[in-house]
Structure 1
Amino acid sequence: VTDPAAIDFDSPVVQAAELPSSNGIGTAHALARMYAALIGEVDGVRLLAPETLASATEEQASGKDQVLMIPSRFSTGYMLPTEGNLMTGPNAFGHTGRGGSLAFADPEHGIAFGYAMNHIISGSDDVRAAALAEAVRSAVA
């Protein structure tokens, strides 16, 4: 496919393909559980040691994202909060996803968050994830 916009990410064929950075597929529940296991133990499993977790929240790069064309901040593999994506606070880390999905953890508040849609609408200004994260942020304030 020469035009990435022509890719149907709802297609089972595309979902079965290996597309780095484009088709990690999971439920909101699974994303939240994975992020919870990054900051603490879930059913006897902890994915990051405390010292590794510390690097997950340490800024490694910041500036204008050359793909998304918006301000961004990154640690070792995770997005960090920005003015446009506050998550739940300055110590949160996570990542946005195609179509407006969002998952993150906030070790300071002991929160893991996952939001995913049933259907991807490319190019939309979907504000649902931001509104849900704002509600969580307000609840812990």
Structure 2
Amino acid sequence: MTVSVEGTVAVGYEPVRAALEASGATEHGSADCCVYAAGECVVDLRAGRRPEDAFALPRDPALRGVPIIASNGYTNARGLARLHAWLPTALSADTLRDLTVARIAGPDVVLSAPAMAIEQHFSRGFEVLQAGSSSAASGHHGLGCAMAFADPAHRLAFGYTTSAAHLGPPGGDARVRKLTRAISACVPRS
């Protein structure tokens, strides 16, 4: 299914728009994708329609007042990408390297099932990812398939949010994989 996509894309990053259009990310809602390269926003896209009640629950004061670890953050793709673009400018080179070294690795005992072990790798505060253009990416998968990462080696940051949640293992959403492959293909090789 091809959907209408609005927003801006810098020259050389057109494949990201095509990947979002073709991803099917908006069959039941909306999706936002944002990419920063070398500190500049090169992709800022919104697709699909937002359900009428998409933001009713997160705005409920009763819910916002309950401390739910790893679930009380509410943002969009642009906010996630900006945060991950800022981190390499705010942290030392040693700290950035430390964020890509797995301190804990193995099957996730909460998400895994007897028939399917879900392997996770975490550094200090972030998931160690290989979703970007190199294995030096760190970030995190979020509820329903939101994702963000920073790839300091390529000065790249990515944020993705959707109102059409994917229920499954982290990194198992084909929509995000299509987008990260498209972004990786746009990154200049040295």
Q: Which runs of 5+ in 2 are unaligned?
A: 1-53, 113-117
Identity over the aligned pairs, expressed in percent?
34
- Residue 102 of structure 2 corresponds to residue 53 of structure 1: no
8 Å CA contact 2:148, 2:159 repeated in 1? yes
- Residue 106 of structure 2 corresponds to residue 63 of structure 1: yes
CA separation in 2, counterparts of 1:37 and 1:55? 16
CA separation in 1, counterparts of 2:68 and 2:56? 14
AA in 2 matched with 1:19? I
Shift of 1:101: 0.6
- Bigger relative CO (Cα 8 Å, ≥ 6 apart): 2
Query: In structure 2, do the counterparts of structure 1 residues 122 and 115 end up closer, same or farther at CA, with 3 Å as the change threshold?
Result: closer
CA separation in 2, counterparts of 1:54 and 1:21? 23
Quote the residue 1:132 is aligned against. Answer: 179
Q: Which runs of 5+ in 1 are unaligned?
A: 1-7, 41-45
Q: Name the stretch that deviates more: 55-64 or 17-26.
A: 17-26
Shift of 1:52: 1.6
Shift of 1:91: 0.3
8 Å CA contact 1:35, 1:113 repeated in 2? yes
AA in 2 matched with 1:36? A
Shift of 1:63: 0.9
User: What SS does the corresponding residue of 1:95 show, helix, strand or coil?
Assistant: strand
Which of the pair is proportionally richer in strand? 2
AA in 2 matched with 1:137? S
The structure with the largest alpha-carbon Rg is: 2
8 Å CA contact 1:100, 1:127 repeated in 2? no
Q: So what's the TM-score if we normalise by structure 2?
A: 0.58
- Residue 102 of structure 2 corresponds to residue 102 of structure 1: no
Q: So what's the TM-score if we normalise by structure 1?
A: 0.76
Provide the aligned C-alpha RMSD in A. 2.3
Shift of 1:92: 0.4
Aligned counterpart for 2:133 among listed residues 58, 81, 88:
88
Quote the residue 1:5 is aligned against. Answer: none
Query: In structure 2, do the counterparts of structure 1 residues 113 and 16 end up closer, same or farther at CA, with 3 Å as the change threshold?
Result: farther
Aligned length: 124
AA in 2 matched with 1:49? S
User: What SS does the corresponding residue of 1:80 show, helix, strand or coil?
Assistant: strand
